[in-house]
Amino acid sequence: MRSWYLADVVVPVALVDSEITLTAIAEAQLLGTPASAGELAAPAANTRLADTGPQNVGNYAALIWMGISEANSLRVRRRNAADAGDVWSFRLPMAINSTFVLGPIRIFLAQGERLVVENITAGAGGSVYQAALFFGAG
């Protein structure tokens, strides 16, 4: 017996000598309420701008919006279950008054792991930082 499944990959198919026309519509993935600390003024170094909290083991979809009003770097981190170390992380240098959108991405998390967004150095007086991490089952 053959098993069948649906995937999130579109494979083009040519219907030779056919008058049938197939159309595909791309639709955005449904993501829930974002994890966000809101709009923060001059945050201290390593402030969590967004944190999913510990998650159950599984595949997830994520979309991250980040914006700052000064030049600085932000960090996206996949944290271990104890929230004591990084599974991986990367730094994203940001220019003054810039916005960056990461995703959508699909990611596997082990039991208790989480995604977070942090600023690297302290924000200057008058600066504003914000990140929103849209996250859901993927």
CATH number, position 130: 2.60.120.260
**What's the CA gap between 43 and 72, in Å, rounded?**
12
What domain count does the chain have?
1
pTM for the structure as a whole: 0.77
For residue 62, what are the domain limits?
40-137
- Which stretch of DSSP H or E encloses residue 132? strand 128-137
**What's the CA gap between 12 and 31, in Å, rounded?**
27
64: which 2 tokens?
């991250």
23 located within any domain: no
112 located within any domain: yes
95 φ/ψ angles, rounded to the nearest 5 degrees: -80, 165
> What is the per-residue pLDDT for 10?
67
Q: What is the pLDDT along the chain (138 residues), one digit of tens a residue?
A: 566 555 666 666 666 666 766 677 777 666 777 899 999 999 999 999 999 999 999 999 999 999 999 999 999 999 999 999 999 999 999 999 999 999 889 999 999 999 999 999 999 999 999 999 998 887
